[in-house]
Structure formats: C-alpha cells, structure tokens
C-alpha cells in the first residue's frame, strides 16, 4: 500500500488531512508544495488535481482530492481506528459539522490570514502580475482577486471575524453538557475545525474564544494529542515564518 500526500505545511486543509492520517497511525509520504511559487498551479499538478489546490492524496493508483473527501475516504478504508460515531444519526451529525466547517470557518479564516500574512507577497507584484496570478487559480480566483493588492476592507474583516465568532459560540453551546469533544467522542468533526483554531491562535485571534471555557478546554485537550504534535512540524505555523503577525 502506498499513501502519498501532496500538500503544503501551512495549509489548513492540508493540516486536516495530516491530523487524520496520524490519528489513524497510517504511514504516508509527503510531497510539499510551495503555494507562493505556484507549485499547485503547474500543469503536472493539475493533472492530479484540476482545482489547483492542496491537498491531494494518491493511494496506490487512486487520486482523491478535497480535504473533507480525503478524510472520509480514509475513514471508510481504514476503520480500525474509528473517527466516526457508531450510529447513523451520530455520523449524520458529524457530517453536519464537517459541512458547516467548509461553509463558515474555513473560508472566513482566509480573510485575516490573507490580510495579515499573504498580502505582503502580492503587494510586490505589478497589477498585471497579480491579475495573471489570480486568473490562474481554477477554484479560488474570485476570492483572490477580491482581495486585490490592498487587502480586504475593514468591513470584510469584521464580517469574517463575526463568522468565526459564530463558529466558536456554536461549539461552546455544543459542549455545554460537559462532553469533551463536539460529538462526545473524538471524531472527524473535531479534526475539521482544529486547523482553523490553530490558525486563529497563530495570527493573534484567540481572543475570539477567550470567554468560552468549553472551547478553550477543547483546544487545550487537542494540543496534547500526538497527532497534532506530528502534524504541526516546524514550518506549519505562519508565525514561524512571519513573527510579526502576533503583534
């Protein structure tokens, strides 16, 4: 069996898959892409993943794209270490959280991430270079071009923070009955959200859950897991490359 993960160390979607792989104790090889150099936009890579994003999992000769699809694929194929509830209803609730994470916190966290970190790279480009780079993105062209070379507006930043705060409040409500994880037992639901929370902490936005004790305890509990330690090797946090972002 061969598992090869094409990903980027700092990509939250990549981190989600790495957590799942490590939680299941699966051996895999990692091919790291440099997103700023456009490794994910080469014709060679887009033959694997036409969306031009990370991650992509190659299992023997099978190519699987999209982080949530990948972790469900791993769950189906390697059930010995289960990351899903035992009942059909429980698995449905898990998928509710997975879809919610894709709709709300995952896109929302990109806004402060781009403004605080990634924007500086694109400000060095000419307008023509920036537009050409944006146009080359099959999946996220509109999101990228909306940022422009001046970044997202204050109103857009506030809207993104509001959606992230909504996520935290929903998590807090979910765990008010004393459950340690979102569905009681640890599952893919937790794995989908933790990279967003790590990113928020990394870019100085942990205040969004400062008054939410259950969420803070959930986060601290996650930091102790071996899979998290292995996933966030050096170079996975933005602050390791850009120490000014926590100021």
**pLDDT tens, residue by residue, 168-205:** 999 999 999 999 999 999 999 999 999 999 999 999 99
For a pLDDT cut of 90, what percent of the chain falls above it? 84
Do residues 204 and 115 lie in contact, with contact meaning Cβ atoms separated by under 8 Å?
no
pTM of the model: 0.95
Q: How many CB atoms lie within 10 A of CB 105?
A: 26
User: Any idea what the CATH number is for the domain that residue 177 is in?
Assistant: 1.20.1050.10
- pLDDT band (50, 70, 90) for residue 148: confident
Is residue 137 assigned to a domain? yes
| Owning domain of residue 119 | 89-225
Is residue 98 assigned to a domain? yes
Is residue 28 assigned to a domain? no
C-alpha to C-alpha distance for 122 and 77, rounded to whole angstroms: 40
The reported pLDDT for the residue numbered 124 is: 85
With a CB cutoff of 8 Å and minimum separation 6, the contacts of 207 are none
Note the pLDDT tens digit of each residue in 32-48.
999 988 899 999 999 99
The SS3 assignment for 241 reads helix
Is residue 49 assigned to a domain? no
Is residue 167 assigned to a domain? yes
Is residue 79 assigned to a domain? no
The count of domains in the chain is 1
The reported pLDDT for the residue numbered 122 is: 86
Is residue 63 assigned to a domain? no
C-alpha to C-alpha distance for 240 and 236, rounded to whole angstroms: 8
**Hey, what are 95's tokens?**
């998928």
Is residue 57 assigned to a domain? no
The SS3 assignment for 185 reads strand
**Hey, what are 39's tokens?**
């490794």
The reported pLDDT for the residue numbered 141 is: 86
- pLDDT band (50, 70, 90) for residue 247: low
């Amino acid at each position: 069996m061969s598992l090869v993960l094409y990903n980027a160390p700092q990509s939250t979607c990549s981190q989600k898959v790495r957590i799942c792989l490590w939680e299941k104790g699966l051996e895999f090889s990692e091919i790291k892409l440099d997103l700023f150099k456009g490794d994910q936009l080469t014709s060679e890579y887009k033959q694997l993943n036409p969306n031009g994003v990370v991650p992509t999992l190659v299992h023997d000769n099978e190519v699987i794209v999209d982080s949530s699809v990948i972790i469900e694929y791993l769950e189906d194929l390697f059930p010995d270490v289960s990351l899903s509830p035992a009942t059909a209803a429980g698995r449905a609730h898990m998928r509710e959280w997975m879809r919610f994470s894709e709709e709300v916190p995952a896109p929302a966290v990109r806004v402060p991430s781009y403004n605080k970190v990634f924007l500086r790279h694109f400000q060095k480009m000419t307008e023509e270079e920036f537009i050409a780079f944006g146009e080359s993105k099959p999946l996220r062209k509109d999101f990228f071009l909306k940022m422009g070379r001046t970044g997202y507006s204050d109103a857009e930043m506030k809207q993104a923070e509001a959606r992230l705060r909504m996520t935290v409040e929903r998590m807090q409500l979910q765990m008010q009955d004393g459950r340690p994880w979102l569905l009681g037992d640890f599952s893919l639901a937790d794995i989908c959200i933790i990279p967003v929370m790590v990113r928020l902490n990394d870019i100085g936005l942990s205040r969004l859950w400062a008054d939410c004790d259950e969420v803070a305890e959930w986060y601290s509990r996650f930091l102790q897991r071996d899979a998290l330690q292995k996933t966030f090797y050096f170079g996975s946090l933005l602050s390791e490359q850009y120490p000014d972002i926590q100021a």
